[in-house]
Amino acid sequence: MNEQSIVRVTIQEIFRINGYLDTDLMTQRNFEQISDEIEKKSGIYISGTTIKRLSKGAFNRSPQIATLNALATYFNFNSWPEYKNAFIQQHLDKSHAVGKQQADLEAQPAASDLSKMPWHRKALARWVPLLLVFVCICSYYLYPSKGPENDFALATFSSRKTTNNDLPNTVIFDYNIEHIAADSFFIQQSWDKNRKVRIDKHKNTLTDIYYEPGYHIAKLIANDSVIKTTVVNIPTDKWVFYSNEYKRRYRTKYIKTENASKKGSLAITQEELVKNKIDINQENIYLYSYFPSKHEVNSDDFTLKTRVRANAVRNSLCPYIAIEVYGQQDVILIKSTSKGCANQAKLRFGTHEINGNETDLSSVSYDVTKWTEVELQVKDKQVSIKIAGRQVFTTSYQNSIKLITGLSFISNGLCEVDQVTLTGPDGEIFCKDNFDS
C-alpha cells in the first residue's frame, strides 16, 4: 500500500469516526468541521479544502510533513513515519489473519461432518474467525498505541506590546521553535495571510507593527500549519477612523478629526480627508471602528440596531456599506449594496459565509446612499436580519466567535451613523450612542 492510499484511508477513517460515511454527500462545511476536529486534537490546522482534496486522493506528491503529522497525531501517534509503519504492520497482520482464517476454514470438517455437529458449534466454527479479524481492525483504530508527546507542544509563542494601545503599535513576539522539524516558519499577525513574516528557527524574537486596532489572533506557523497562537489586543475605547488605499496591501492612513459627532450622527467629511492628506481620487476603503477594553457580550446572543447611510467620495457604480461585528475567534458581517450590484453583497457568521455571486442576496441589498435602519439579531446562533423594519433574511451557524470585541462600519464612501445600539440579552451594553454630542 503506497503513501497516497494510506493518506486517503486515514482521512476516510476520520470521516467515519465523526459520522460521515459517504464522502460524496459531504459539503464544504462538513470538511471545515473535520478541519476543526483535527485541529482540536492535534493543534495543527489543515484547511477544509486540503482535507477534501486528500480524501479523494487528488494529489501527485506527498503532502507537507506537518499535514501528515497532524493526521498521525489525531490517532495519538507522535509522527507520520511512526503512524505509517504501524498502519502497514496492521495491514500485514490483517492479511495474515485472513490467510489463517482461510486455512482454518479449509481444515474444518467437511459439510457432511458439520451437518452432524450441534447448531451452536457450527455457528462458532463459521463466525469466530471473522469476528476475530473484525475485533483486530477496531482495536487498531479505537485503541492505537500512544507515542510520546507531539513535538509541536514543545514550541512556545507569546506577545507583548511596547506602546500601550497607541496606533501604530509595536508588538514583540517571543518564540522558541528549536525542537520543531519544518522547512520554514512564519508569524502571521492576524487572519490576513498577507501579514505573514518569515522567522529564523534559531532566533527567538520578532518585532512587528500593527497599524489597525482590534482583537488579533497572531499565529505561529510551521510550513503551512498553525502550531501556536497568541492574542494581541489593541482596544480604542472610542471611535477611530482610518482608510486603506488597498485592503490587501494594508496601506493604512489615520483620519484625525476634532469632532466626529456632527448634527446627531457619527461622520467625517471630504474636507477632513483632504486635511489628513487622504487622496480622494484614489479608490479607498473607509473604516469607523470601536474596540472597547471590556468584552462581556456573547456573539451567539445579541441585538444590533443602527441607522446608516453612505456619502460617495468618488463616483462608484456599486457603493456599499459593511457592518462588521468582531469576535474573539472570527467575525459577523453584513455587506449591503444597491440591488443592481447584489452579486457583491456578502454575509458571514464565523466560518459560515454566504456570497452574493452564489446566493440571491438581493433581500439584504438597498440604496445605501439613503438613511436606512438595519437590525441584526442573533439568538442561540439563529440569525435574523431586518432592513427598514422588515425581516429580509434568516439563517443559522454552528461555530461560535465567542465574546464580541469590536464593531466597524466600512464603506467605499463616507458613512454617516445616526445611532447604534449593540446589547446582550440581559442588557449588557457593548455600544450605545445617538451621537448628539
pLDDT, tens digit, 9 for 90 and up, residues 40-82: 888 788 888 888 888 888 776 778 888 888 898 888 888 888 8
Domain that holds residue 202: 155-234
Q: Do 40 and 53 fall within a single domain?
A: yes
The verdict on 176 and 295 lying in the same domain is no
Query: Do 418 and 321 contact (CB within 8 A), yes or no?
Result: no
Strand order in the sheet with 404-411: 252-254, 239-244, 285-290, 404-411, 320-327, 331-337, 346-349, 352-355
Q: What is the residue type of 23? A: T
Of the candidates 118, 148, 178, which is a domain's last residue? Answer: 148
Strands 301-311 and 239-244: unpaired
Mean pLDDT in the chain?
A: 86
Domain end among 148, 172, 206: 148
Q: Verify that 319 and 254 share a domain, yes or no.
A: yes
Instruction: Write down the residue that cell numbers 498502519 correspond to.
Output: 87
Mutual angle of helices 3-17 and 80-107, in 10-degree steps: 90
pLDDT at 418: 95
Q: What are phi and psi of 175, to 5 degrees?
A: -145, 160
| Strand order across the 214-222 sheet | 196-198, 185-188, 214-222, 225-234
Report the phi/psi class of residue 223: left, alpha or beta, with left for phi > 0 and alpha for psi in -120 to 50: left
- Least confident range from 96-110, 319-333, 335-349, 407-421: namely 96-110
Question: Distance (Å, rounded) from C-alpha 376 to C-alpha 405?
Answer: 16
Mean pLDDT of the 95-115 span: 55
Share of the chain above pLDDT 70, in %: 85
The rounded distance, in Å, linking the Cα atoms of 162 and 175 is 17
Measured CA to CA, the distance from residue 33 to residue 298 in angstroms comes to: 22
**For 245-289, what is each residue's pLDDT tens digit?**
765 556 799 999 989 988 889 999 999 999 999 999 888 999 999
Of 84, 116, 148, the domain-final residue: 148
Q: What is the CATH number of the domain that holds 179?
A: 2.60.40
* pLDDT for 62: 75
How many Cα neighbours within 13 Å face the side chain of 11? 28
Q: Does 285 share its domain with 226?
A: no
Exposure string of 20-39, with b = 16+ CB inside 10 Å and e = fewer, is beeeeebeeebbbbbbeebb
Model confidence at 144, pLDDT cuts 50, 70, 90, reads very low
Q: Are residues 270 and 406 in the same domain?
A: yes
The reply to whether 423 and 291 lie within a common domain is yes
Do 276 and 246 sit in the same domain of this protein? yes
Q: How many CB atoms lie within 10 A of CB 308?
A: 23
- Specify whether the CB–CB gap between 319 and 312 falls below 8 A: yes
Q: Are residues 413 and 283 in the same domain?
A: yes
252 and 395 belong to one structural domain = yes
399 and 287 housed in the same domain: yes
| Judgement on whether residues 267 and 394 belong to the same structural domain of the protein | yes
pTM for the structure as a whole: 0.67
Helix, strand, or coil (residue 98): helix
Q: Are 107 and 222 contained in the same domain? A: no
Q: How many domains does one find in the chain?
A: 3
